[in-house]
Structures are given as C-alpha cells and as structure tokens.
Chains A and B, each alone.
Chain A
C-alpha cells in the first residue's frame, strides 16, 4: 500500500500520463475535424524527436527553447502532406467511410516513407543525448530536470490548447467542426481553412511531444509506432474526436500503466495496452467518457 501511495510513482505516472495526453491530442484533432486516421502520427513524433536531437547536438540549442522551431518543422511537413495528398481526398472522395479507409492506407504509406527516409539519412541506430539530467529532490521525490520540464511543457500546452478551443474564434470553429461538419458549414465556418489549421496544429503538437520524449528516451527512426498505438488507445478511451476526454484518458492510461507494471511485471505492459484497447472498442466504442455522437 505504501508503494502505491508513494509520491515517486505518482510523479512518474503524471509525467507519463501528460506525455500520453499530448501524444494523443494531435491525433484527435486530425481525426475529429477531418476523419483522417493518421497512423503516421508516431512518425511525426519521431521527426520532432530527431529535430530536437539535431538542434541540440549541432548547435547546443535546448529542445525547450527550440520547441517553436520543431513545431514549425512538423507543421510544415503537415502542410506539404495536406496539399500534396489529403486535400484531394477530403474534397473529392465520398462517403466519409471511404475517406477514413483511404486515409489509413495513405498515412500508412507516409509512415513507411518517413521512417525510411530518416533511416536512410541518419542510419537506423538509436541515438540519445543528455540534457537537463541533474536530479532534484522535492517532497521526497527524486526527479530529473528533463522530466520536470516535460511535465511543465505538456501541462502548459494541454491547457493552452483547451483554452484555445474553448475561447478563441478559430478554436471554437475547430470544436464546431468536430461536432458536426454540415452544421459548421451552414453557420458560415470556412471548413477547408479550419481543416488546414487543425491538420497543421495536430502535426505541430506531435512534433513538440517528440521533442519532449527525446529528452528522456532513446530515439530511432522506428520509435514512432508504439506511440501511434498509445495515441489510438488514448483517443478511443476518451472517445474519437472528444478532445477533453482524450486528455483525461491520456492521464488515466499513464497512471494505469505505471501501477500495473509496478504491481505485476513489465512483460504485461503490452497485454495491458492492447487488452484495454480491444476491450474498450468492443464494450464501449464511444469511449469511456463519450456520448454516442451522430455521425
């Protein structure tokens, strides 16, 4: 019992959970507004991680300071993909199920291409760098600087996105589009403009998540896939397209994972993730916090 209440575990769970929430947020925006199933999401995280790695290694630029630049790189990649491939799909393909199926295949192709371009350019071997790894003690919890930084950035960004969606004009348009595309069009929202916006924001957030992850973990061209899976587990738990549900589910998954691994063994991590994934899809496909939404 002492073990379970230890602030050390609580801190680990909080760091992991907020990372998961951030990882899933970008995916949720892209799916929610456009019904595009981005299975290359983890690879954007990888791109963000590599950008952070190279900025730091080549110029000593701290990933935290470099975040806007990294976000910009991934947003740019998003813009290129949007105009090269996905705009055509969104405008010309009907019905929406067909867009979903096609987007899955297209993003799979993008995933394979991005992974292998990175592997070809920077070799497939894992890399890591040391930054902010001094240990601090607070309330009996030992924490490294990079984990604290990751937690602070993730929580700030999550709150900023929620505020943006609830308060700003563009944010409200995105929320409207997630709720009902036809109605959003009727009330005068410029759907394609908002779609481009969500697409690039989704990609930028993935880049930031990648930069944060690169501070604490090894990176490699093929690191993305597990994050894609985590992102899907989270947004399904929270309900596809439900932004706040997704954030709550990300935190929840972080806690569940840390505690299950502590109580059993690390071998069960994958069974847990996929078990939850399959279980929720079968029993509550609308998500833990979801209402059934009209499609």
Chain B
C-alpha cells in the first residue's frame, strides 16, 4: 500500500494520468477523425507501456509483443455475439496472460540474442497456427457487425492506457520492480543476492501480456473485422519497440512521448508518402539508439528518469 500512497503523492504522474483521461473530450471537441487518432494514440500508449513493464525493466527485449494483442483480438472475434463484450475483452487479457505464463517457463531460460529471436519466432509460429486453424474451419476472416461506437471504444482504450501506466509505475516502485532492474543490470548478481529471478521474470512477462490481450480485442472491434495476418502483424511488435526506445522506458511518460512522436510523424507523412514516414522512423531509431538510448523522456526530464532507473 505504500506504493499506492507514493502514486497519490506523485504529482507528475497524476498530471500525466489526468491528461490521458482528458482525451475523453476529443470526440466532442474535434470530431470523429481525431477520435480515431486519439484511439490509436491510446492503443500505442497501452501497448508500449505494457512492453516496458517486462522488456524495459528486465532488458529482455521482446519482439513478440504482438502475439498477445493478436490472441486477444482472436478471443473477442471468435466469441463475438456469443459472449458479451464486458466478458470477452477481459477474457482476451486473461487468455493472453495464460499464454504468456505457459510459454514463459521454457522461453525465459533463453537469454540474450536467443531470447529476442525466440520471442519473434514464437509470435510468428502462433500466427501461422491460428491461420491454419481458421483456414481449416473455413474462416479466412470474420466480420464483426454491430460493434460499439468509436467513442465507447475510445473510453475503454483510455481506461486501458491508464491501467497500463499505473501498473508499470506501481511495479517500477515496488520491491518487485527493483528486482527486475537488478536482473537487467546483472542477472547472476541479482540471483546471488537473493532476487527470486525466475519467479520475477515469469510474473513480469505474464503481467505485460494482459493489457495487449485486451487492447487487441478493442482494436478488432474498432476495425469491425478480424483477419489473422493483420492482427498478428510483426510490424506491431517492431513499432512498440521503436516507440519504447524513442520515448524512453525509464519514465512512465516515455512510452507516451514515443507513441505521440511516431503518430505525429505518421499523421504528417503516412497519407501522402508512406515510404518517407518509414524512412524517417528508421532514421530516428538510429539517432536515438546511438545518441540518446534513454529516449525523449530522458532528454526532457533528465533528473527524474535517472531516479526511476
């Protein structure tokens, strides 16, 4: 509970969360185009925030974050009109969490570059298994008629972004979070001084899967159809990693800055020359990895992000 008190006293965090919540007024003030932009922003904030919960803190870079998002979307799409949404969206989160828990034990034994490519390979494997299952039952894509309005989905997504931010903040300030940072700095030393390394890694990995599971479900409803190759697209994982690196994962505002920055670039260029947008993303990623590995957050708020490291 001390962690919760800490959150209430943390003025920066409260201001940040309030501004996230204020996004609910976007549809009324700016119309439906910006409501979709806001929905996308909240989606990327949630995904990136949840990615930093595991990968940012432990230094185990996961390139397979999309698998949880895709599974969540699959749960919502395949139970659409069977289960009510207030059951199926959280169920997507639970299923994603269970999937993470199941694969965590073997996957987390693997370290370094092996871990990175393993997460990627695993996400692709799940994608092709789901694809084959869908093809064999004759559903190449599913239409979701009668999904909630964009406004409703935006409110849910804001909720998810707030929860994801709070979760990451709570974890980073707890004993658990310090254990995770110790793993990032030196796993063997962490184990030697008594950090329950395996338990912590599995818990963080599982926690980080729940939010993307729910986000995936909401996004399936937003696009009103479900197509396997789209919701399991590895580009989503890469975008999340890019946002986390550019924004910085040492500060809860980092993922927001990264998501906002890439969305801004995309608003400026995607509609006209998408290739220019991609080239710029690549260039910015190089610049940040080489010159500012702690991201925008560390440039804007240097002292704070050093504290929370």
Q: Which residues of A contact B129 (CB under 8 A)?
A: 271
Within 235-280 of A, Cβ neighbours of B (below 8 Å) are at 236, 240, 267-268, 270-271, 274-275, 277-278
For A97, list chain B residues within 8 Å (CB).
112
The 8 A CB mask of A99-117 against B (1 = contact, 0 = none) is 0111011101111110111
Which residue of chain A lies nearest to B61 when distances are taken between CB atoms in the complex? Answer: A101
Stretch at the interface among B34-42, B82-90, B278-286, B301-309: B278-286
**Residue pair B125, A281 in contact (C-beta under 8 Å):** no
User: With A and B bound together, what is the CA distance between A97 and B113 in angstroms?
Assistant: 8
Smallest Cβ distance from B108 to chain A, in angstroms?
11
Shortest Cβ distance from B249 into chain A, in angstroms?
13
Q: B29 on the interface (CB 8 Å rule)?
A: no
Assuming the contacts A112-B279, A274-B124, asked whether A282 and B110 have C-beta atoms less than 8 A apart, the reply is yes
A120 x B290 contact (CB < 8 A): no
Q: List 20 A-B contacts (CB under 8 A).
A: A31-B113, A37-B117, A85-B290, A104-B61, A109-B281, A109-B289, A113-B283, A115-B278, A116-B276, A117-B275, A117-B279, A120-B273, A120-B276, A120-B279, A267-B132, A271-B125, A278-B121, A281-B110, A281-B114, A281-B121
Interface residues of A (CB under 8 A from B): 31, 35, 37, 85, 88-89, 97, 100-102, 104-106, 108-113, 115-117, 119-120, 229, 232, 236, 240, 267-268, 270-271, 274-275, 277-278, 281-282, 285
- Mark contacts of B124-161 with chain A using CB atoms, 8 A cut-off: 1 yes-contact digit, 0 otherwise: 11001100100100000000000000000000000000
Instruction: Give the distance to chain B from A275, nearest Cβ to Cβ, in Å.
Output: 6
Q: Decide: A108 and B285 in contact? CB cutoff 8 A.
A: yes
Say what secondary structure dominates the interface of chain B: helix
Apart from the given pairs A232-B121, A281-B121, 19 other A-B contacts in the complex at a CB distance below 8 Å? A101-B116, A102-B289, A105-B242, A105-B285, A108-B238, A109-B282, A109-B285, A109-B286, A112-B282, A116-B278, A119-B275, A232-B117, A236-B114, A270-B128, A278-B118, A278-B121, A282-B106, A285-B110, A285-B114
Q: Is the CB of B124 within 8 A of A229?
A: yes
Residue of A100, A106, A108, A232 contacting most chain B CB atoms (<10 Å): A108
Q: Given the complex of chains A and B, what is the CA–CA distance between A102 and B279 in angstroms?
A: 18
- Which residues of the other chain, A, contact B59 by a CB distance below 8 angstroms? 101
A271 to B107, alpha carbons, bound, how many Å? 18
For A110, list chain B residues within 8 Å (CB): 282, 286
User: Would B282 and A274 count as touching, CB distance under 8 A?
Assistant: no
Q: How many A-B residue pairs have CB under 8 A?
A: 107
Residue of B122, B238, B275 contacting most chain A CB atoms (<10 Å): B275
Neighbouring B residues of A281 by C-beta, 8 Å:
110, 114, 117-118, 121
Hey, what's the 0/1 contact readout for B285-298 against A, CB within 8 Å counting as 1?
Answer: 11001100100000
Any chain A CB within 8 A of the CB of B241? yes
B283 to chain A, nearest CB (A): 7
Q: Known: A120-B275, A120-B276. Is A277-B121 also a contact (CB below 8 A)?
A: yes
List of A residues within 8 angstroms of B259 by Cβ: none
Task: Provide the residues of chain B in CB contact with A106, threshold 8 Å.
Answer: 285-286, 289-290
Residues of B within 8 A of A117 (CB): 275, 279
- Bound Cα distance from A278 to B125, whole angstroms: 8
Nearest CB on A from B109, distance (A):
8
Which chain B residues border A112 with CB–CB below 8 Å?
278-279, 281-282, 285
- B interface vs A, CB < 8 Å? 59, 61, 106-107, 109-110, 112-114, 116-118, 121-122, 124-125, 128-129, 132, 135, 238, 241-242, 245, 273, 275-276, 278-279, 281-283, 285-286, 289-290, 293
Residues of B within 8 A of A105 (CB): 241-242, 245, 285, 289
CB-defined contacts of B121 to chain A, threshold 8 Å: 229, 232, 274, 277-278, 281
| Beta-carbon contact of B289 and A113 below 8 Å | no
From A89, A102, A104, A267, give the contact of B135 (CB < 8 A).
Answer: A267
Contact A275 B125 (CB under 8 A): yes
In Å, the complex CA distance between A104 and B59 comes to 13
Contacts of B289 in A (CB 8 A): 102, 105-106, 109
Q: Name the B residues within 8 Å of A104 (CB-CB).
A: 61, 113, 116
- How many Å lie between the Cα of A253 and that of B268 in the bound state? 44
Closest to B245 in A: A105
Q: How far is the CA of A88 from the CA of B278 in the complex (A)?
A: 24
Known: A119-B275, A278-B125. A85 touches B286 (CB 8 A): yes
Question: Judging by beta carbons under 8 Å apart, are A113 and B238 in contact?
Answer: no
Instruction: Choose among B116, B241, B278, B282 the residue that contacts A37 (Cβ–Cβ < 8 A).
Output: B116
Question: Residue on A with the closest CB to B117?
Answer: A232
B278 nearest CB neighbor, chain A only: A116
A136 to B293, CA, bound (A): 56
Give the Cβ gap from B244 to chain A, nearest Cβ, in Å: 10
Q: Which residues of A contact B116 (CB under 8 A)?
A: 37, 100-101, 104
**Chain A residues, Cβ within 8 Å of B285:** 105-106, 108-109, 112
Question: Roughly how many angstroms separate A119 CA and B128 CA in the complex, as a whole number?
Answer: 27
B125 contacts across to A, CB distance below 8 A:
271, 274-275, 277-278
Nearest to A89 among chain B residues (CB) is B290
How far does the Cβ of B198 sit from chain A's closest Cβ, in whole Å? Answer: 16
* A102-B289, A105-B289 as given contacts; A282 in contact with B113, CB under 8 Å: no
Chain A residues within an 8 Å CB radius of B107? 282
- The docked-state distance in angstroms from the alpha carbon of A116 to that of B275 is 5
Please measure, in the bound complex, the distance between the C-alpha atom of A112 and the C-alpha atom of B289, giving whole angstroms: 15
Residues of A within 8 Å of B124, CB to CB, are 229, 270, 274
Closest 8 CB pairs of A and B: A113-B282, A274-B125, A109-B285, A112-B282, A116-B275, A109-B282, A270-B128, A116-B278
